[in-house]
Amino acid sequence: MSDRGRRSAGRGGAGRAAAARPFQYRGRELCCDGASLEALAEQHGTPLYVYSAEQVRYRFGLFQRAFAGRAHTVCYAVKANSSLAILRMLAELGAGFDIVSGGELERVRRASKRALGRVVFSGVGKQAWEIDAALKAGILLFNVESEAELGLLAARAEVLGARARFALRVNPDVFAETHPYISTGLREHKFGVEIGLARAIYRRAARSRWLDAAGVSVHIGSQIRAVGPFAAALERVAGLVGELREDGHRIRYVDAGGGLGIDYNDPPAKPAFDAARTVAEYAAALGEAAAGLGAVHLLVEPGRFIVAQAGGLLTRVLAVKKNGTKTFAIADAAMNDLIRPALYQAHHEILPVKQGRGASVPVDVVGPVCESGDFFARDRRMPRLKAGELVLVLDAGAYGMSQASNYNTRARAAEVLVDGVETRLIRRRETLKELLAAEIL
């Protein structure tokens, strides 16, 4: 780290209130917990993902405190941001992990072998090798999505001589107001099984000595801002748990899923979004819905809520051009680095690293990829940008790097973790040699 970076990192980063958003102007320069973004760009180049360790710890702690009154495990959704450094940090805090692939299982293993016993394995298309790896790892629970998958799980458990704990993921047919691509709780979705069919499936599963019906799982979608749908889904699950116990099943776990959303429009300088209050309301709603469950271990799977606002995508303006009445600021980051605006029409606030003083003007902030859908903002009012300036795309800590690609044969960005007075490179920038290494002529 450069001397300038050390000095910048030391400007009060560790002493800030953890509840504050990590990206704030100090003087007229945008910083992450006191670390200079300009210095980080100078040292590591752009595009660059920058994360606040302090914010990740704070957000995880909100869930731990909110659910402290009952047996629970906060299983971080690895798909949101699968950085090994972030996974290790969360494992050290006692997090469990929600995974959806054998690759994510290996990430947890490399981050913390001790955390493997706190893993729940979700996903609609588990393969035999993935199930084998999870059984050998001794994971906590398989969230099973179909009766066919349950049969495969029993077969692989028998081959390995390992009894498999499972929770059937039920579809409660609860509507959650969110983007249709990330809504999962209706009967027309590919996820889970119809809740009315679950009791019979559990009865058939009881015939196998290799299956342990340990729980029930539900997940209704992502980026859900109201707590009502979560409570409604869990109430339906609670009714099913009562029936299953009547049938003699020893249900010990209820997985309430994840999906708690954030406010992507919230300005970091004066945020209206109260993360602590949101988590408290969420925990209270789940607690009330689960009140009649008795001795049950509650699993929750936050992902976006923990990491989204802890991260930003730092990018440099390559050029500014006009086409008719439109002004375009062309950045060196693109849709391959952050696909959410193109895929979900998602809004992300964008701030210049050097705070502008002039009047704001409408501008499209776009990338260099050969797609009209390669944009971060359209007709966004911002101070006039010039070539060479740095801007930060906010709230990019979730589903940013984890959804990055090599489209247009572009190398993926580097990642930096800001932790108190230290900044640390946690993923180096991909090279073209690495990008082409797997190909055969």
Q: Are residues 295 and 364 in the same domain?
A: no
Pairing of strands 297-300, 96-99: unpaired
> Is 431 inside a domain boundary?
yes
Task: Give the confidence band of 268 by pLDDT, cuts at 50, 70, 90.
Answer: confident
CA distance to 333, 378, 383, per residue, from 363 (Å): 16, 7, 9
Burial of 441 from C-beta contacts in 10 A (0-12 / 13-18 / 19+): exposed
Boundaries of domain holding 237: 53-303
Q: Which of 248, 282, 303 finishes a domain? A: 303
pLDDT above 90: residue 302: yes
Q: Are 302 and 428 in contact (CB under 8 A)?
A: no
Any idea what the Cα angle at residue 76 is, between residues 129 and 80, rounded to 5°?
A: 80
The whole-number pLDDT of residue 5 equals 38
pLDDT above 70: residue 11: no
Give start and end residues of each alpha helix (H) in 331-396: 340-344
pLDDT, one tens digit per residue, over 349-389 is 999 999 987 889 999 999 999 999 999 999 999 999 999 99
252: region left, alpha or beta (phi > 0 left; psi from -120 to 50 alpha): alpha
> Is 365 inside a domain boundary?
yes
Quick one: three-class SS letters along 304-333? HHHHHHHEEEEEEEEEEEEECCEEEEEECC
- What beta strand segments (E) does 114-270 contain? 119-121, 141-144, 164-171, 193-194, 211-217, 253-255
Rounded to an integer, the average pLDDT of 304-333 is 97
Q: Residues near 200 by Cβ (< 8 Å), separated by ≥ 6? A: none
Q: Give the whole-angstrom CA distance, residue 108 versus residue 105.
A: 5
- What beta strand segments (E) does 6-55 contain? 23-26, 29-32, 35-36, 48-52
Q: Which of 250, 273, 303 finishes a domain? A: 303
The whole-number pLDDT of residue 275 equals 94
The whole-number pLDDT of residue 221 equals 83
pLDDT: is 68 or 18 the higher one? 68
Query: What residues act catalytically?
Result: 370
The whole-number pLDDT of residue 126 equals 97
Residues recorded for the chain: 441
Q: Are residues 45 and 158 in the same domain?
A: no
Q: Are residues 38 and 76 in the same domain?
A: no
Q: Give the whole-angstrom CA distance, residue 163 versus residue 156.
A: 10
The whole-number pLDDT of residue 225 equals 82
Q: Are residues 379 and 325 in the same domain?
A: yes
Average pLDDT, the chain: 91
Rounded to an integer, the average pLDDT of 199-218 is 97
Rounded to an integer, the average pLDDT of 33-59 is 97
Backbone torsions φ then ψ of 385, nearest 5 degrees: -100, 150
> Is 315 inside a domain boundary?
yes
> Is 441 inside a domain boundary?
no
pLDDT above 60: residue 12: no
Query: Six-digit token pair at 262?
Result: 């954030």
Task: Give the confidence band of 70 by pLDDT, cuts at 50, 70, 90.
Answer: very high
Q: Which of 303, 325, 340 finishes a domain? A: 303
Task: Give the confidence band of 47 by pLDDT, cuts at 50, 70, 90.
Answer: very high
Q: Are residues 223 and 98 in the same domain?
A: yes
Q: Give the whole-angstrom CA distance, residue 256 versus residue 167.
A: 11
Tell which residue, 411, 390, 386, has the closest CA to residue 316.
Answer: 390
> Is 337 inside a domain boundary?
yes
Q: Are residues 352 and 315 in the same domain?
A: yes
Q: Give the whole-angstrom CA distance, residue 202 versus residue 213.
A: 7
Q: Give the whole-angstrom CA distance, residue 28 versus residue 140.
A: 49
Q: Are residues 214 and 262 in the same domain?
A: yes
Q: Are residues 187 and 333 in the same domain?
A: no
Q: Are 60 and 53 in contact (CB under 8 A)?
A: no
> Is 145 inside a domain boundary?
yes
Rounded to an integer, the average pLDDT of 392-403 is 98
CATH number at residue 16: 2.40.37.10
Q: Give the whole-angstrom CA distance, residue 12 versus residue 33.
A: 8
pLDDT, one tens digit per residue, over 210-261 is 999 999 999 888 788 888 888 888 989 999 999 999 999 999 999 999 999 9
pLDDT above 70: residue 202: yes
Quick one: three-class SS letters along 246-312? HCCCCCCEEECCCCECCCCCCCCCCCCCCHHHHHHHHHHHHHHHCHHHCCCEEEECCCHHHHHHHEE
> Is 147 inside a domain boundary?
yes
Q: Are residues 228 and 81 in the same domain?
A: yes
Tell which residue, 231, 244, 162, 174, has the closest CA to residue 202.
Answer: 244
CATH number at residue 134: 3.20.20.10
Q: Are residues 326 and 277 in the same domain?
A: no
Could you give the number of structural domains in the chain? 2
Q: Are residues 180 and 246 in the same domain?
A: yes
pLDDT above 60: residue 189: no
Q: Are residues 175 and 59 in the same domain?
A: yes
pLDDT above 70: residue 403: yes
pLDDT above 70: residue 4: no
Considering all CA atoms of the chain, what is the largest pairwise distance in Å, rounded to the nearest integer? 72
The whole-model pTM stands at 0.92
Task: Give the confidence band of 176 by pLDDT, cuts at 50, 70, 90.
Answer: low
In the Cβ-directed half-sphere of 22, how many Cα atoms lie within 13 Å? 34
